[in-house]
Amino acid sequence: MTEPELPDGAAPDRPPGRAPDPECLFCRIVAGTIPATRVHEDEAVIAIRDIAPRAPTHVLFLSREHIPSAADLTPADGPMLGDLFGAAAAFARAEGLTEAGYRMVTNIGAWGGQTVAHLHVHLLGGRSMSWPPG
């Protein structure tokens, strides 16, 4: 039996559509065609300073793969999510945010406040956060 052919960039244990999207702002930042202030890079994740910060520290942790949102994650994404959250925790420690605390959030869809359809997690710190967020 022949294996089905997968679209470019798709792995057999992941859904198709994970190839970079040339129209996606964050895919272009990951590729280096749009400049950004990078604060972390590894094989799975990059982190950049937000260009419109909502807190003294506001960093976006991006999947290198084009995943539209957290709603598109699968169990196979566990290692990447571990890398993402581990990188964020290390960054927060290095910035001195852990004692006072910080917030991490991802938005999903228009009603969730997502403005770029590429998985990313906001790390916000350096000020007190209120609840509910908005």
Q: pLDDT tens-digit profile of 52-75? A: 999 999 999 999 999 999 999 999
**pLDDT at 128 exceeding the cut of 50:** yes
Structural domain span for residue 96: 25-125
Is residue 60, in this structure, part of any structural domain at all?
yes
DSSP for 12-58 reads TTS-S--S--TT-HHHHHHHTSS---EEEE-SSEEEEE-SS-SSSEE
Is residue 131, in this structure, part of any structural domain at all?
no
Is residue 134, in this structure, part of any structural domain at all?
no
Is residue 96, in this structure, part of any structural domain at all?
yes
Using the Cα atoms of residue 60, residue 63, residue 68 and residue 73 in order, give the sign of their dihedral.
negative
Is residue 10, in this structure, part of any structural domain at all?
no
Q: How many domains does the chain have?
A: 1
Q: What is the mean pLDDT of residues 16-22?
A: 81
Record the pTM.
Answer: 0.86
Is residue 132, in this structure, part of any structural domain at all?
no
The CATH code of the domain that includes 61 is: 3.30.428.10
25 half-sphere exposure, CB direction, 13 A CA radius:
10
Give catalytic residue positions: 120
Is residue 67, in this structure, part of any structural domain at all?
yes
**pLDDT at 80 exceeding the cut of 90:** yes
